[in-house]
Amino acid sequence: MLPAIFALLEGRTIDLESTLSHKIRGSANFRLTRLVPTRATTAAKAAPALGESLLSRIGNTPLLRLEKINTQFPSVEILAKAEWHNPGGSVKDRAASRIVGEALRSGKLREGVALLDATSGNTGIAYAMLGAAQKFSVVLCMPANVSPERKKILRAYGAEVVFTAPDEGSDGAIRKAQQMAKAHPKKYFYADQYSNDATWQAHYYGTAEEIWRQTEGRVTHFVATLGTSGTFVGTTRRLKELNPKITCVSLQPDSPFHGLEGLKHMATAMVPRIYDASLADRNLDISTEAAYEAVKRLAREEGLLVGISAGAALVGCEMVARELRGPAVMVTVFPDSADKYLSERFWDE
């Protein structure tokens, strides 16, 4: 009987009927096999679905230790959430899936209504993936100068794209989406990721809880970049509830004209409604050049092929780590991989 008990403790299924009958007959040869349903249960229950759904793969990303970089800071452990493990390839799957889930539940997104939003890329890719999987149309406003890789990915998923003037940046795309939503309120569900509370809540209920669990509550610092600000705002709100002593640092481009795709220079941009500057213990400005250099270091020293905002995140972590005297467990978010930035010139410089 003992092997059967061990099997159950390990979560394996056993043929209870045959195990018991062996026991009854006093046999020493217990068989550990799959649980065989009786005839009645076979007829009543459908077999559980095999595999995993696409949506269930969003979130719960790995927390990677930056082995080589950490040797510079003996008392600090820098850890990064590897967000390219999301099925759409970026951190934005989290916010987009929560926005879409709430809109489907409330009926704002339904048959005959298309999801509309402004995006510089990753949120659009996430919406396009979800639209294809969950059968709703997606219309995206984005600056015409986004990378060719992004345009191709959106086309591949079958999303419709409205291009806006490159010199107006992501704010031009936001204005266009607002105009379209106002002109056709019945045609579109305007997702408005910059104002939608689901954007930060995805991180409050997801990213923060994951970080807390994956560090066994030992996280002392959280450092993250600002785009919509959803990642920083949602994660910081929850981490500060779990332990008010955690230091939270936000990172922004150091100038309005920058190459940090997905990030906002808050002083000069349209400030997202969900942004709460008071949550940050400090804010650091990051240069595009330093982020490029960090991306190359991550590729060549850690074997991590990450996007430019991940480079900015590493620069911010190193700035904080250099000033620390005592031990620290510092967590950051690497929003996407380098896939969409491989045609950038900085790789060869």
Ligand X SMILES: Cc1ncc(COP(=O)(O)O)c(C=O)c1O
As annotated, the active-site residues are 92, 309
Query: Does 228 participate in binding ligand X (rule CB under 6 A)?
Result: yes
In terms of CB distance, is 19 or 123 closer to ligand X?
123
In terms of CB distance, is 4 or 115 closer to ligand X?
115
Task: Please compute Rg for the chain using Cα positions.
Answer: 24
Q: Which of 226, 294, 314, 328 binds ligand X (CB under 6 A)?
A: 226
Nearest to 114 by CA among 126, 128, 125, 102: 128
Give the contact letters, 247-276, x = binds to ligand X (CB under 6 A), - = no: --------------xxx-------------
**Residue labelled with tokens 């007829």:** 43
Buried/exposed 178-202: b ≥16 CB within 10 Å, e otherwise: eebbeeeeeebbbbbbbebbbbbbb
CA dist 343 to 83, 149, 265, Å? 21, 9, 24
Q: DSSP state, 313?
A: H
In terms of CB distance, is 231 or 247 closer to ligand X?
231
Query: Does 337 participate in binding ligand X (rule CB under 6 A)?
Result: no
d(CA 336, CA 149): 14
Within 10 angstroms of residue 49's Cβ, the number of other Cβ atoms is 7
Query: CB 10 → ligand X: shortest distance, Å?
Result: 39
Specify the stretch interacting with ligand X by CB under 6 A; choose among 61-69, 119-127, 142-150, 180-188.
119-127
Give the contact letters, 175-214, x = binds to ligand X (CB under 6 A), - = no: ----------------------------------------
* Close Cβ partners of 126 (under 8 Å, ≥ 6 residues apart): 86, 88, 90, 92, 93, 95, 96, 97
Query: CB 29 → ligand X: shortest distance, Å?
Result: 58
Total of residues contacting ligand X (CB under 6 A): 21
Give the contact letters, 87-106, x = binds to ligand X (CB under 6 A), - = no: ---xxx--------------
Specify the stretch interacting with ligand X by CB under 6 A; choose among 106-114, 180-188, 213-221, 227-235.
227-235
d(CA 143, CA 155): 15
Q: CA 318, 324, 325, 328 torsion: positive or negative?
A: negative
Query: Does 230 participate in binding ligand X (rule CB under 6 A)?
Result: yes
d(CA 330, CA 69): 12
The CB-nearest residue to ligand X is 262
Q: Which stretches of the chain bind ligand X, using CB under 6 A? A: 90-92, 121-123, 225-232, 261-263, 307, 309, 335-336
